[in-house]
Amino acid sequence: MALVDVVIPTAGRATALAVVLTSLLGQTFGDFDVTISDQTLGEPSFDAVEIATLVRALRRRGHRVELHHHLPRRGMAEQRHFLLSRARAPYVHFLDDDVLLDPPVLGRMLDVLRAEGCGFVGCPATGLEYLDDVRPQQQRIELWEGPVTPEPFAPDDLPWERHLINNAANPLHLEARLCRDGAVVRYKVAWVGGANVLYDRAKLLAIGGFSFWRRLPAVHAGEEVVVQFLLIRRYGGCGILPSGTYHLGLPTTITDRRHNATALFRELLDELEGQASVAEDEQWREAREAKRESLV
């Protein structure tokens, strides 16, 4: 079993998927396997000759590659839930089908996640078309000076403004200032998107993963956002720079955002806290019984 399972949701983007797989071939860290879940209507993208060639190349390098034509479409939360169900490695890397990665990215993310022991580490995807669009008003970054720790923000007190530093080319402008001489910086997020995020699989499963997908209509957004909210509260999470992650500039496949999974945050949080309370009660009862038996 590899140390990392890279899982890729895709639909109708053979050329973009080829870029992502080529990026994986170029990673300096190599202990990973790959699972692709394709929801293309009709022939799956991995039937294209360029994808088939890249899959062979990955397998030749020793990476296990699973290919699934996963239909019918039930929304991105279900797609991510399915991919998580296929993962077995300690760390699961959710990677969208429209990004380009610098070679050190996966290894750098893993180093930070293992050192911090938090729930996730994410790299914001930069739009290179915004390289000359400098936005100092959106670059108020909150750096982690010590270890990454949980941040118990409430559903009605979310630090929404933190997402601004992930917009446009803000990450590139910030890393030019903050990441000299090979420095890697960790910063506070409300969420870091879903394009390139490395999760501790056990922690992701502990907060329920994407199992809430049945509560959403098939057309929705924000599934990765609410998961990151929950992980930040319980385990902490961070973004890192350099990001080394670039949007390919393709239009989004999710144009209808009227139904957002973030509306489930309070409900999911209440359920998790209820489960924690039950677990604590059970631990207390077990400790009481153990003490009683020791006195007999």
CATH of the domain at 138: 3.90.550.10
pLDDT value of position 258 = 78
pLDDT value of position 283 = 46
pLDDT value of position 253 = 74
pLDDT value of position 280 = 47
Domains of the chain: total: 1
pLDDT value of position 285 = 53
R_g (Cα) of the chain, nearest Å: 20
pLDDT along the chain (296 residues), means of 10: 97 95 98 97 94 97 98 96 98 97 98 98 96 95 97 92 95 95 95 94 98 95 96 98 95 76 95 72 49 51
Partners of residue 5 on adjacent β-strands: 33, 92
Residues 6 or more apart from 33 whose CB is under 8 A from it? 1, 2, 4, 5, 6, 63, 64, 65, 66, 89
Around 173, how many Cα atoms within 13 Å sit in the side-chain half-sphere? 21
- The answer to whether 185 touches 178, Cβ cutoff 8 Å, is yes
- The answer to whether 58 touches 21, Cβ cutoff 8 Å, is yes
pLDDT value of position 259 = 87
**Distance (Å, rounded) from C-alpha 293 to C-alpha 188?**
47
Range of the domain at 243: 4-295
Token pair of 240 as six digits: 């890192």
**Distance (Å, rounded) from C-alpha 102 to C-alpha 106?**
9
- Tell me 124's DSSP state: P
Q: Which residue has the tokens 């979310």?
A: 158
Angle at 243 between CA 27 and CA 177, to 5 degrees: 130
